[in-house]
Amino acid sequence: MIEIKSLFCGYGKREVLKDLNLHLRRGEFTGILGPNGSGKSTLLFAIAGVLPYRSGSIRIKGEEIAGTTFRFRARQMASVPQKSELSFPFKCLSVVLMGRYPFLSRFGGYSRQDMRRALDAMEQTETIHLAHRMITEVSGGETQRVIIARALAQETEIILLDEATSSLDVAKKIQIFDLLRSKSDRGTTLLCAMHDLNLAALYCRRLVFLKDGRIVLNGLTEETFNDENLSRIYETDIKVSQHPITGSPQAHFVPGPHRQPESSVYGPVGRGQVLGPGRTDC
């Protein structure tokens, strides 16, 4: 569904992504993890086609995205950006309806079906009560859920989410991720940049860890999410145990006085080094 080969990409003279290779299958629920500044958002911008790449290739369903139109991309992929770009006082319903924009005919307005899809997405994200409120007058968490509703209303096969639930309380995070999982079960391919390691381990089947613009680890959650890999990538002592209900691996952070000396357990990942047992090219 998404195939990235030898991707080099950045801003001006600043090279961020270096020789990145990634292949994601249809319906896969993938978490993009890694420290601040490792290139997660940059990768999502490149896939969304809003950041031109220097070299390499990104193919969506076999189509090289560099040559595609905004309309083509918007029919394939919906994005939930890290920073909301909405500073105009649109009603939340109008924001969600924007998800239908790529499907409008040249002369027609929104159809009843477009309205139905927007309202369904607002019901699913529990934002229907905000429909007639201005997007500039709702909270950060409410804005995030409205933008997620816009992405769902777009009804694309791929959804890119960049820290999309960072402002939500724990119950709302779980509700949104349950919803995302149900979409993934029905074939939607999801790529989520996340900071919340435990949420990623609970929901994502595959984890891709970036560091300094390179993939240092890529594999199934149960194979990659362990003490050694996490401690080395985040450069702090992290212990992993099993979730008592689901059995998923869950991370525990170790406060100062209890941390083991850095050199003994979690020396940083070296340049170009790849951690096991994940692969960087799958």
Single out the residue of 58, 63, 56 nearest to residue 44, CA to CA: 58
Find the shortest distance in angstroms from Cβ 38 to ligand ADP.
4
Please tell me the distance from the alpha carbon of residue 219 to that of residue 280, in angstroms, as a whole number: 8
Quickly count: other Cβ atoms within 10 Å of residue 136's Cβ: 11
Q: Which stretch binds ligand ADP (CB under 6 A): 31-39, 86-94, 148-156, 217-225?
A: 31-39
**Residue with Cβ nearer ligand ADP (17 or 180):** 17
Q: Which stretch binds ligand ADP (CB under 6 A): 10-18, 19-27, 129-137, 256-264?
A: 10-18
In whole angstroms, how far apart are CA 188 and each of 43, 76, 179, 245? 19, 11, 11, 26
**Residue with Cβ nearer ligand ADP (11 or 70):** 11
Q: Does 56 bind ligand ADP (CB under 6 A)?
A: no
**Residue with Cβ nearer ligand ADP (41 or 76):** 41
Number of residues that bind ligand ADP (CB under 6 A): 11
Find the shortest distance in angstroms from Cβ 175 to Mg ion.
23
**Residue with Cβ nearer Mg ion (37 or 267):** 37
Cis peptide preceding 255, ω within 30 of 0: no
Residues 73-92 that bind Mg ion (CB under 5 A): 82
8 contacts: CB under 8 Å, gap ≥ 6: 15, 17, 18, 19, 20, 53, 54, 55, 56
Find the shortest distance in angstroms from Cβ 195 to ligand ADP.
9
280 contacts: CB under 8 Å, gap ≥ 6: 21, 215, 216, 217, 218, 274
- Out of 30, 41, 76, 250, the only residue in the binding site for Mg ion (CB under 5 A) is 41
* List of residues contacting Mg ion (CB under 5 A): 40-41, 82
* List of residues contacting ligand ADP (CB under 6 A): 11, 14, 16, 34, 36-42
